[in-house]
Amino acid sequence: MARIVMKFGGTSVADLDRIRNVANRVKKEVDAGNQVSVFVSAMAGTTDRLVGYVEGISPMHDAREYDTVVSAGEQITSGLLAIALQDMGIPARSWLGWQMPMKTNKVHGAARIEDIGTEEIISRLEDGVVCVMAGFQGISDDNRITTLGRGGSDTSAVAMAAALNADRCDIYTDVDGVYTTDPRIVPKARKLDKITYEEMLEMASLGAKVLQTRSVAMAMNHGVRVQVLSSFEDKPGTLVVDEDEIVENQVVSGITYAKNEAQVIVVGVKNKPGIASDVFTLLADSNVNVDMIIQNETEDGKKTDLTFTVVESDLEKSKEVLEKAENIEFENIVTDDNVVKISVVGVGMRSHAGVAATMFKTLADKGINIQVISTSEIKISVLIDAEYTELAVRALHTAYGLDAE
């Protein structure tokens, strides 16, 4: 007997037939004698619709009420799945975030899990009840409902798997595993049998939304065995594992793209020591997360251009705070939200030279201009015009030998 956590995403619970299909999947695990906890997302499209309602009623809304509204989709699916299971003769009950409780901090819209009450869940599991839980939501110390950020049900499931000391956390979705790149834009993408936590973490944070970044970090820290697999087909998925479980590393394991980036160029900044510190301290104090950065001095060294990227939703704010700053002198600010960040990821990069050169040459051969570059130990990212997203990802996929036969 194993203790397992299963998580089903929005497309997997998109209508009543699919919820019945999920119930069948759960039944298989129950019939195999396992203790089963299940997390569900809202039906596909529901959370977007709820976000639309909140923005429609007031663009400058109270973040606590936003969470009250947008968490509602998961209440529906958790109840429906419990009913579907009961109809099949399986004892089941639903839990909302506050009932578990899934305790979080007070950062509404992007709350972090701090503690999970597992006593009641464990005792029900031991009685043979399937515990169906609403993903994405929690409760703060102030007794307010919180949400964990978009895609957060993955994190709910992994956190519960860690708290329950589960043997496995299976993430069921609309693709049958983690691919070398988004299979929806590269038909030749290849499914990976295994991927390291580290690579998965980079890929998630660089745009591969198949797992929420925080869920991967949590799995890595707590050694949770995560598997990504299809809700619709019965076949093995992708296991997220430690590096030593992978026999031979590819130099590049995956390619990602993130379209929600925006570029800011602060042109003609007076060049003096401390200027970068002034600019980036100001942005940090305004809660703007800066990603890629480059600085170019003019020939005489008197002025410099500072280029950086932020998430698209922070673009206006970044511009505004810089324009208001009295301690920073510059000529003007140029912004561009029509950009995409393309990244290549692989632990094999640590021991192989030439990975960056291949990337730059491949893009150059396609006539694609690189606007900003940033690297870390296991990834290289470039910022390019969004128009070339697909062309770039496909060309790189071929260049690194990742295409499926």
Interface positions with Mg ion (CB under 5 A): 9, 151
- Scan residues 34-53 and list those touching ligand ADP (CB under 6 A): 41
**Residue for token pair 């690579």:** 199
Identity of residue 111:
A
Give the closest residue to 118 by CA, choosing from 105, 131, 100, 130. 100
Judged by CB under 6 A, how many residues of this single chain contact ligand ASP?
13
Side by side, the strands of the sheet bearing 261-270 are 293-297, 303-311, 261-270, 332-336
Q: What are phi and psi of 67, to 5 degrees?
A: -65, -35
Give me the torsion for CA of 9, 11, 12, 16, rounded to 10°.
130
CB of 265 to ligand ADP, least distance (A): 29
Select from ligand ADP, ligand ASP, Mg ion, none the partner in contact with residue 136, using the beta carbon and a kind-dependent cut-off of 5 to 8 Å.
ligand ASP
Chain centroid offset of residue 276 CA: 29
Q: State the Cα–Cα distance between residues 254 and 251, nearest whole angstrom.
A: 9
Cα–Cα distance, 152 to 356 (Å, whole number) = 33
Binding mask 69-108 for ligand ASP (x = CB under 6 A): ----x-----------------------------------
Does residue 156 touch ligand ADP according to CB under 6 A? no
Helix (H) or strand (E) holding 358: helix 355-365
Among 97, 138, 151, 237, contact with ligand ASP (rule: CB under 6 A):
151
**Which residue has the closest beta carbon to ligand ADP?**
9
42 versus 355: smaller Cβ distance to ligand ASP = 42
Specify the residue, 312 or 385, whose C-beta has the smaller distance to ligand ASP.
312
Instruction: Decide if residue 10 touches ligand ASP (CB under 6 A).
Output: yes
- Which residue stretch of 103-111, 113-121, 178-186, 291-299 sits at the interface with ligand ADP (rule: CB under 6 A)? 178-186
Q: Is 140 in the site for ligand ASP (CB under 6 A)?
A: no
Residue 42 binding partner per list ligand ADP, Mg ion, ligand ASP, none, with a CB distance cut-off of 5 to 8 Å that depends on partner kind: ligand ASP
Q: Which two tokens stand for residue 224?
A: 């949770």
Residues 221-280 that bind ligand ADP (CB under 6 A): 254
Could you give the CA distance from residue 121 to residue 126 in angstroms, rounded to a whole number?
A: 9
The reply to whether 10 sits near ligand ADP by the rule CB under 6 A is yes
Tokens of 109: 């819209």
Q: Which is nearer to ligand ASP, 25 or 214 (CB)?
A: 214
Nearer Cβ to ligand ADP, position 144 or 397?
397
Give the Cα separation of 330 and 302 in Å (integer).
12
Give the residue with the Cβ less far from ligand ASP, 71 or 253.
Answer: 71
Task: Tell me: does residue 11 bind ligand ADP (CB under 6 A).
Answer: yes
Buried b (16+ CB within 10 A) or exposed e, 42-63: bbbebbeebeeebeeeeeeeee
- What's the DSSP call for residue 298? -
> How far, in Å, CA of 320 to CA of 327, rounded?
14
Question: According to CB under 6 A, which one of 210, 269, 279, 347 is a site residue for ligand ADP?
Answer: 210
Tell me: does residue 150 bind ligand ASP (CB under 6 A). yes
- Give percent helix, percent strand, percent coil of the chain, each to the nearest 5: 40, 25, 35
57-65, 109-117, 147-155, 394-402 -> range binding ligand ASP (CB under 6 A): 147-155
Please select the residue that binds ligand ASP; options are 5, 42, 283, 396, rule is CB under 6 A. Answer: 42
Q: What is d(CA 357, CA 308) in angstroms, rounded to the nearest whole number?
A: 22
Q: Please say which residue, 67 or 182, places its beta carbon nearer to ligand ADP.
A: 182
Task: Return residues touching ligand ADP (CB under 6 A).
Answer: 9-12, 41, 151, 173-175, 178-179, 181-184, 208-210, 254
